[in-house]
Every structure is written in structure tokens, then in C-alpha cells.
A and B are shown apart, each in its own frame.
Chain A
Amino acid sequence: MEAVRRNGSPEVNRSMEPHITSQKKYRRYNKYIPALLLLLPLLLLIIGFFIVPMLYILYLSFIQTDGLDTSNASYSLMNYTRFFTDSYYLSSLWLTIKISLYCVIVSLLLAYPVALTMSKCTPRVRGYIALLVASPLLISIVVRNFGWFLLLLPNGMIHRTIGSLGIDSSSLRLLFSETGVVIGLSNSFLPFMILAIATSLYNIDPSLEKASAILGASPLRSFFSITLPLSLPGVVSGSVLVFSLSMSSYVTPALMGGANVPVLPVVAYDQMINLMQWTYGSAMSYVLLGVTLFLVTVFTRSMERSRFKEVFR
């Protein structure tokens, strides 16, 4: 009997006092209005200058036309089939992925020791190092790349230094090569990797290392069985960040790689601006976006389901 009454009561309330329920509902939405108003300027900006153009590019990518004239266009998957059947464009995609992976590896190897040092320091020293790490972000990427450009020139400082040691460096191609692009990109994105790893290292309970030591683990073993696995969330988020940024970067490959390193963003830019192939360029942009999202998702998911899945909770 108790159960029946309990089950019945909301029904009764709803039918007998409908105005109260609707008033409550009205009040419930009321409290979101100030938040909505505060978000409105940015929301409009994003819709107007990001979402709409993105949708327009998506629309363009499905159009088959000659040049800029869309008056007698027809819809088709032509742009996409052209991309996936032409080995030049496929190899450009592969090059982009390869360079991005190199960037992830290089920045990981350079960033981890710095992050580890930061996590061992007092908060004061840690602050100074963080400032130092982030300071390159204050300078424009073009300026930083141009700095590397001068250093890596065939008669630049690095080549001359190697030459002065009596080693023939003429076969070494630093500029206008994949090496140059990887150097430039890794340098640009290193701060993101360092800060991502450092953040996850700060969160490790320092007594875990003590516990590991007292159980007999040498510092090296403690690092590989405790510290490294527990810092994986930072490693993964840093890698995803650097990978996505490298996949979509245009300035550095254009400047440091030139025509020798035709990564997809550079090729797409060429199609759009120089060849006026807007629809094909649009399709290329979406292929880049899709592949990046796919790889990042597969990577994150596989890490979250790995042996160390507990770390990602």
C-alpha cells in the first residue's frame, strides 16, 4: 500500500497543480540566462568566424567545379577520390604524419628530463623554470623560425662549427629538409610537452617513491615501474598536443622545408591560394582534420585500455 501511494503521488501532483510545475521549470531555465549572456559575445564570434566558415569549407569539399565558379556545380565525392587515388597527395599525407611523429618523439625525449627536474625542485625554483620554459612563447613563431633558418643555413653557424672541427658537413642537409622542419617544430612545441608532463609529475604522491625504495627498488627501477607509468597521462596529453599542432602547422614547414618538404597544410595552401582550387583544397583540409582526429583518438583510446588503464582514471 505504501508503494502504491508513493508511485501515485507525482501523478497526482502533476495533474492537480500544473501551474506550479511550469513555474518551477521557468525558474530552472531562468538561472541560466546570466551565464548565457556572459557567453554570448564569444559564442557569436565562434559561430560567425569559425563554425560557419568550417561548414562552408565542408560544403565546398563536396562540390565539383572548375576554379572559383560555383554556378554550374554538381555534388560529388570527386575531390576525396582524387586525393586518395593520387600517390603524390597520399605521400604528402604520410610525410605530414611522419614529421609529426618525429616531433612528438624529439620533444618527448627533450621534455621529460626537464619536467622531472621541475617536479623535484622546490616550488620557488619550479616557478622560475616554468617561466623560462614558457618564455619562447612570448616571441612570434616566425621570428623563432627565422632564427633557426639563419643557424641552419649551409654557410650558417652550425655548418661552420661542424666544419671547423674538421668534419665535412656538405652532405648534411639541415635547411630545406625534414630535419629542419622537425627541429623548428619541436622547438616551438617543446613548452607544451614540458608543462603537460610536469603537471602530471607534480600529482604523484612523493611517498610512492619512498615506498618503492624501501621495497628494494633502485632509483632506476622506481622510475620505470612507478614514476613513468604514473606520468603517462601527461605524456599522452603532451603528445596529442604536439602531434595535432605539428599536423596542422604551416609556417615552419613552409619556411624551413620549402618545396622539399610538401606537408599537407602547405599543399592545401598551394591549392587554395596559388592554384585557386578551392574545392580540392577544402577536401584536403578535411582529410587532414579527419586523419588527425582519427589518429589522436586511436592513440588515446589504446593508452586508456592498455596495461596502465588505471592511471587514466
Chain B
Amino acid sequence: MTTLSTPQEKAELLEKAAVQGRSLWDDARARLMRNRAAVTSMVILGTLVLLATIGQLLWVHDYDTIYRDRVWIAPTLENWHLLGTDAQGRDMVARILVGLGVSLMVGIVATFVSLVIGVTWGATAGFIGGKVDQAMMRFVDILYSLPFIFFVIILMVTFGRNIVLIFVAIGAVEWLTMARIVRGQTIALKGMEFVEAAHAAGVSRTKIIQRHIIPNVLGPVVVYVTLMIPVVILAESFLSFLGLGVQEPLTSLGRLISAGAQDMEPAPWTLIGPAVTMMVTLFCLNFIGDGLRDAIDPKDR
């Protein structure tokens, strides 16, 4: 909170507060806007998203156009190869923009998949409680201790490198923590009076979960989602790096980094461009996530 210098200001603020009540979300937004790192990150990330969506269409080169006579050109203003070209003579700027778009999309979609599974699983377990809860969370515990990356790799090998499958595979792996968080919150909420009141008024369990539990666990979930998107982007890049992600000529940041790592001796710019893009993206997402956590859950500060 900003310090109030005069009693007059204080009075004004009190008056304002009395006139219009501030919801939890208004408060959170105000706190988030004061977090300089988070706001800067949001601006940068917004720019990156615009570049990856619209910029990709407007850029002078296509991501899959091969210029045979322009292999491994260092960054230059000539022909607008601002970040150089790769081993096949494709423009790096165009490829990075497409790769960024794919990585962001995988991040968002796979996070959504895990969000749906995790919230449903956690809310159900927490709300029903008892034996069902124990069995469901035991299942999560067991899955937690599995070497998941191995299964994802086998899965990718088994069903081919399909982009939809990447979403599903990563989403299906990352829902566990979400389920735990939601369950904890649900159990805390279940004891609250308004839930008991709904129960007493004869509202069905499904309705209570939908109308009362899920909206109220949204805060921690939003925070976790922002922190999960970078994790998912990393997971996809990890697979791409091992040669199991999206397929040529489509690309993702992980794939570009993998190719760049192989060519780093003759053409370091093929590594540096995608690597920096990825670092900046992950930085922004992590800062926004941290900022959101501080904003929504102020007791940590």
C-alpha cells in the first residue's frame, strides 16, 4: 500500500472505498499493476504474441522458402535476413516467429488440457472426500513417482509425431500438481458456511462444485496456470530437441535450438536467435506468474 501523507487523503480514500467496494480481483489487478517486472513482462510478451501471429504473416520471407544460394548467411540487412539464414537457406526471423507461435500454442493448449483434467479430478476428490478422495489422491501420488518423460517419449514414438498428440501427452502429464492444489482448496472451502448453506438448501453436489467450489479455487489455479505454460513450452521443446516434436518444415523453438546447436560452430546465429527468443519468453511468463501470485495471494509479501 502506498503511504498516505495527509489525513485529508486518507479521508478521501476512505470515502471512495465506502462508495465503491473493491472486489478481490480489483485489488489483485491494482497490486499486479504496481509490480514493474510483471508489467514489463506483459508488454514484452504481448509484443511477442503479436509478432508470432500477425508479424509472421507480414514478414517479407516465408518460413519454408528455401533460398539455395543463401545458406548460412550471417545476420545482415541485405535481403532483410536480420537474423541470418539456416543450413538450408531459410530466413531465421520467419522461422523463429513460426517456432514461437507453435511453442506458445502448445503451451496454451496443453495447459488447458491439464487444467480441465486437474480441476475436475481435484475438485471431485476434495469435495466427495473419504475413501474416494484417498483412492483418487493415492493414484495421483503413484503417477507422481513415475518417470513420465519416458512414457511421453514412447507415446510419441508409438503414435507418430502428431501435434495434437503433443498437446494431449503433455497435458495429461502435467495435471497432477493442479489436481493437488485444487483438492486442498476444495477441502478448505467445503467447511465454509456458504457451501453448507447451499447444501442445506438442497442444491445438488454437481451444482455446488460448479457454482461454488470451482469459481472460488480460481485464484490459485490462475497463478498455477501462468507458471505451467512455461513448463509445458519447455516440455515440448525438450521433445523437439530429441527429435520427437513437431515435424519439418513446421518448427518450434525447441527444434530450432536443436538445429542451431548442431550448426553452432559454422553458424552461431542459428542457435543464438531461437535461444534468446525462448529465454525471453520463459522469463516473461515466469515473471508474470510470480507477479500474479503476489497479487492474488498477498499474505506472502
Q: Do A and B bind each other?
A: no
What is the interface of chain A, defined by CB distance below 8 A to chain B? none
What is the interface of chain B, defined by CB distance below 8 A to chain A? none
